[in-house]
């Protein structure tokens, strides 16, 4: 099943007089089960592509279908619902709320999605191997552990799809490998489709597909055998 179908997407940013044409007539299909690794130079539009595919930013032209729904025809409330329940995000900086415990950080997205099932907090922490950190505060954890909490938060509403924008960018090599192993487990065992942006070519070994972006265009897109 096709999860994302982006067709002839263009994305411009306007800053005063300056216009930046970031995504250029880009088309991309992502199927359920894919683990896509997006690589490309800084400024090539990788983050912008994630924002547009996830509906955080509208394309300037072209269309994005997420689970068959054309995002430009979805009302804001339905969009929020779709984002909360279908998509999980993981960023380079973990964005955990410092004065909330791990438990409370994981509770928050369920409250926002009005789907309050605290049992899932334990399940998510077990999935990322951090059940013992449940009542700790983010600053009591290492960077790698905080990123694993952020991944637990991303899966709490049982998304079909995770967008991860350089999730290992701020981590040492060992923690980076742990995060990659975890993403692979979510892909294999939990059947979550993953779209990862990375600067680390070694991490492409975990992916089933490598997509190379250059100057806002896809210059190569290859399936990989693990």
Ligand X SMILES: Nc1ncnc2c1ncn2[C@@H]1O[C@H](COP(=O)(O)OP(=O)(O)OP(=O)(O)O)[C@@H](O)[C@H]1O
Closest CA to 49 of 14, 6, 18: 6
In the list ligand X, Mg ion, none, the entry touching 225 (Cβ below 5 to 8 angstroms by class) is none
Extract the tokens encoding 136: 């700790």
Q: Is 98 exposed, middle or buried (0-12, 13-18, 19+ CB in 10 A)?
A: exposed
Nearer to ligand X, 61 or 117 (CB): 61
Q: Is 17 exposed, middle or buried (0-12, 13-18, 19+ CB in 10 A)?
A: exposed
In the list Mg ion, ligand X, none, the entry touching 173 (Cβ below 5 to 8 angstroms by class) is none
Nearer to Mg ion, 141 or 197 (CB): 197
Nearer to Mg ion, 47 or 84 (CB): 47
In the list ligand X, Mg ion, none, the entry touching 99 (Cβ below 5 to 8 angstroms by class) is none
64 close to 70: Cβ distance less than 8 angstroms: yes
- Minimal distance, residue 23 CB to ligand X, in Å: 8
In the list ligand X, Mg ion, none, the entry touching 22 (Cβ below 5 to 8 angstroms by class) is ligand X
User: Helix, strand, or coil here: 51?
Assistant: helix
- Minimal distance, residue 12 CB to ligand X, in Å: 9
- Minimal distance, residue 165 CB to Mg ion, in Å: 6
Sites of contact with Mg ion (CB under 5 A) = 47
Nearer to Mg ion, 51 or 206 (CB): 51
Nearer to Mg ion, 129 or 169 (CB): 169
In the DSSP assignment, the letter for residue 205 is: G
In the list ligand X, Mg ion, none, the entry touching 20 (Cβ below 5 to 8 angstroms by class) is ligand X
Q: Is 24 exposed, middle or buried (0-12, 13-18, 19+ CB in 10 A)?
A: middle
Closest CA to 87 of 199, 183, 3, 169: 3
- Minimal distance, residue 173 CB to ligand X, in Å: 19
Sites of contact with ligand X (CB under 6 A) = 13, 15, 20, 22, 40, 42-48
Nearest to Mg ion by Cβ — which residue? 47
226 close to 35: Cβ distance less than 8 angstroms: no
Q: How far apart are CA 71 and CA 53, in angstroms?
A: 9
């Amino acid at each position: 099943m096709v999860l994302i179908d982006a067709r002839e997407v263009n994305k411009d940013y306007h800053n005063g007089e300056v216009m930046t044409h970031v995504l250029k007539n880009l088309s991309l299909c992502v199927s359920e089960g894919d683990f896509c690794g997006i690589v490309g130079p800084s400024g090539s539009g990788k983050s912008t592509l994630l924002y547009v595919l996830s509906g955080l930013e509208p394309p300037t032209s072209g269309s994005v279908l997420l689970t068959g729904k054309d995002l430009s025809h979805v009302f804001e409330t339905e969009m929020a619902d779709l984002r909360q329940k279908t998509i999980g995000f993981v960023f380079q900086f973990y964005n955990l709320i410092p004065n909330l415990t791990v438990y409370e950080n994981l509770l928050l997205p369920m409250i926002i999605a009005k789907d309050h099932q605290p049992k899932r907090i334990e399940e998510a922490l077990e999935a990322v191997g951090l059940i013992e950190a449940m009542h700790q505060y983010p600053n009591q954890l290492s960077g790698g552990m905080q990123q694993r909490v952020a991944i637990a938060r991303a899966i709490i509403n049982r998304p079909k799809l995770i967008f991860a924008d350089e999730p290992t960018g701020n981590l040492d090599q060992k923690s980076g490998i742990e995060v990659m192993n975890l993403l692979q487990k979510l892909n294999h065992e939990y059947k979550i489709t993953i779209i990862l942006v990375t600067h680390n070519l070694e991490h492409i070994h975990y992916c089933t597909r490598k997509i190379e972006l250059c100057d806002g265009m896809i210059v190569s897109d290859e399936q990989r055998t693990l």
